[in-house]
Chain A
């Protein structure tokens, strides 16, 4: 039972991370109609900048601020130089151009910082753990990640439903010509939305970087999970991204722990580990296929 609660919280933590990635992706697709494979690169940029600045200043918080800023700046720059040429292109061109950006970012980072991982430690104040019901202990830092994720979700909700910027974003989702007619500077709005998405990815990368290692290619597995999230949730829907992220995070985490345990009841433990982990690795994709079989546009299709 304690194992279950612990893993459930782990799943939530993965889910909130995925939400940070997926909300940016889905917003960029919803507003600009762009499929962005390079989103994982902003995750990596955020983690690298945080690790470097934290190491230089000795402060995780300053590092974190630097990471978010760096990701947003790189995002804005990429939008200005490359991405804005792609809005009216077919998806195939968008996929390839952003795939090219991944190669450029990954190899460029490897060139600058080498292949060995950088180390980033969570701030000392958050390094302790607290007791869970049932007696086991759980690291505070992971709980803080969940809290940050929830804060971002609430913040996004307020931003989109209550502010002028949010109004423009919503207008951009439903009718691109209209906001142009309203006199909104679309080019600037697009750059802003893109940079915002990049900043959220950078935030995710920085926070996860303190749990795992900071290295080239770290954004890619997360990117693909985020794709699964937004496909399940419905591309363009922030709400869908939230539910999808939690669903994927929890199902994936619980599957990896409990499927091997489950198979151990009728197999030898090495066989169970093999079958269980192979099946667990496929679990969220099976989930996605099932959902799409019934709802080809995802759970919360934003628009057709």
Chain B
């Protein structure tokens, strides 16, 4: 349809930049999605429905976590079935740091003392660093394998983190860890639901912008080639493994940051955030929205949370219907919501 009809007519035209613009359907859909996400909670806030503001924050953070996963799955072709590890670990960084700040005990006493902190800035930085390091270790082993092995190994490593959190009693074990008071930012009231939503929204915008920018860069070109044709990349003189590993780490950092915010949203972190169901749901969101589409995770997250809220209001067995919808999308609508709304896309 919109498929590059111009390509043979304009031989020297610049390569199309995968950006949003006002002039095409995709750009309008992207801006529309962001507008809905921003305006709905604003309206709800001024009408006094705080529940919907928090719901919008939830959509935003799940979308952000899926943006991270999309970098691995959609752009890098690395089907990670273990991104809950980073989402949950980000959450635990927020929880543990707040726990020690509350208790006035150090997080680590040796070899250097690291105190707890209830500053979001410190927590975000810590979440990004810790998740990056975990992804570096997991990725270094997992990326030696491909295909099904990679899927199962990422799953298994995430389970390892899950069981660890489940059986380590200091931070609540399977009961999880409450955050009694939402962590703070200088000069901002993070307790206010709308303010907190705007922080989350900023995080989402930042991760979208970062992904878009990275994918247009040399690194993105190499990552795209690693996904499409690994042999071509190596023959061109670029080793695929380090490119994939770095993309995997960046992906985990984005998902981890979303996890830290998610724990603050709920005031609670538990092994559920680390479970393989969470990994599966993040994948589902990426697929529902459209794999490898910049705004796919946002469309997927909106759809997912809407189904959860609407169907969940009708029946407690709503996941049965989620399963049926998902099965339908996988079998019959391969390009997801974004493919349906904004047309197909060339990589």
Indicate if A touches B (C-beta under 8 A). yes
Measuring CB to CB, which residues of chain A are less than 8 angstroms from any residue of chain B? 29, 35, 82, 85, 91-93, 95-97, 99-104, 106-108, 110-111, 220, 224, 227-228, 230-231, 235, 270, 273-274, 277-278, 280-282, 285-286, 288-289, 292-293, 296-298
A107/B145 in contact, CB under 8 A: no
Known: A29-B148, A95-B151, A289-B157. 7 other contacts (CB 8 A): A99-B284, A104-B327, A231-B149, A281-B164, A288-B156, A292-B141, A292-B145
Q: Report B68-92 residues with CB < 8 Å from chain A CB.
A: 73, 79, 81
A107/B323 in contact, CB under 8 A: yes
B147/A224 in contact, CB under 8 A: no
B322 interface residue (CB < 8 Å to A): yes
B326/A35 in contact, CB under 8 A: no
A99/B166 in contact, CB under 8 A: no
B159 interface residue (CB < 8 Å to A): yes
B79/A231 in contact, CB under 8 A: no
A235/B149 in contact, CB under 8 A: yes
CA distance A93 to B334 in the complex (A): 9
Across the A-B interface, give the 4 residue pairs with the lowest CB-CB distance, nearest first.
Answer: A103-B323, A281-B163, A285-B160, A107-B320
B168/A95 in contact, CB under 8 A: no
Contact (A100, B330) CB under 8 Å given A111-B317, A277-B167? yes
From A100, A280, A296, give the contact of B327 (CB < 8 A).
Answer: A100
Q: How far is the CB of B250 from chain A (nearest CB, A)?
A: 20
Tier of interface size on chain B: 35 or more
B147/A91 in contact, CB under 8 A: yes
B79/A285 in contact, CB under 8 A: no
The residue in B152, B291, B318 that gathers the most chain A C-beta atoms within 10 A of its C-beta is B152
A285/B157 in contact, CB under 8 A: yes
B64 interface residue (CB < 8 Å to A): no
With CB as the reference atom, state the residue of chain B lying closest to A277. Answer: B167
With CB as the reference atom, state the residue of chain B lying closest to A230. Answer: B152
Q: How far is the CB of A286 from chain B (nearest CB, A)?
A: 8
Q: How far is the CB of B127 from chain A (nearest CB, A)?
A: 21
B319/A103 in contact, CB under 8 A: yes
B327/A101 in contact, CB under 8 A: yes
Q: How far is the CB of A259 from chain B (nearest CB, A)?
A: 11
Q: How far is the CB of B303 from chain A (nearest CB, A)?
A: 14
Q: Report B300-321 residues with CB < 8 Å from chain A CB.
A: 317-320
**Which B residues are CB-close (under 8 A) to A224?**
155-156, 159, 276
From A91, A103, A104, A282, give the contact of B151 (CB < 8 A).
Answer: A91
* CB<8 Å pairs between A and B, sample of 21: A35-B152, A82-B327, A91-B79, A91-B147, A92-B283, A92-B291, A95-B283, A100-B323, A106-B319, A107-B318, A107-B320, A107-B323, A110-B317, A228-B152, A231-B156, A274-B170, A278-B167, A278-B168, A292-B153, A296-B149, A298-B149
The residue in A29, A111, A278, A286 that gathers the most chain B C-beta atoms within 10 A of its C-beta is A278
Q: Report B263-297 residues with CB < 8 Å from chain A CB.
A: 276, 280, 283-284, 287, 291
From A107, A231, A273, give the contact of B153 (CB < 8 A).
Answer: A231
A96/B169 in contact, CB under 8 A: no
B319/A107 in contact, CB under 8 A: yes
**Which B residues are CB-close (under 8 A) to A280?**
167
B9 interface residue (CB < 8 Å to A): no
B164/A96 in contact, CB under 8 A: no
**Which A residues are CB-close (under 8 A) to B287?**
92, 96
**Which B residues are CB-close (under 8 A) to A91?**
79, 147-148, 151
From A92, A104, A274, A282, give the contact of B163 (CB < 8 A).
Answer: A282
A107/B317 in contact, CB under 8 A: yes
B284/A293 in contact, CB under 8 A: no
**Which A residues are CB-close (under 8 A) to B156?**
224, 227-228, 231, 285, 288
B326/A96 in contact, CB under 8 A: yes
B144 interface residue (CB < 8 Å to A): yes
Q: How far is the CB of A157 from chain B (nearest CB, A)?
A: 24
Q: How far is the CB of B84 from chain A (nearest CB, A)?
A: 13
Q: How far is the CB of A304 from chain B (nearest CB, A)?
A: 10
A100/B317 in contact, CB under 8 A: no
A292/B144 in contact, CB under 8 A: yes
A281/B167 in contact, CB under 8 A: yes
With CB as the reference atom, state the residue of chain B lying closest to A236. Answer: B148
Contact (A285, B159) CB under 8 Å given A101-B327, A292-B141? yes
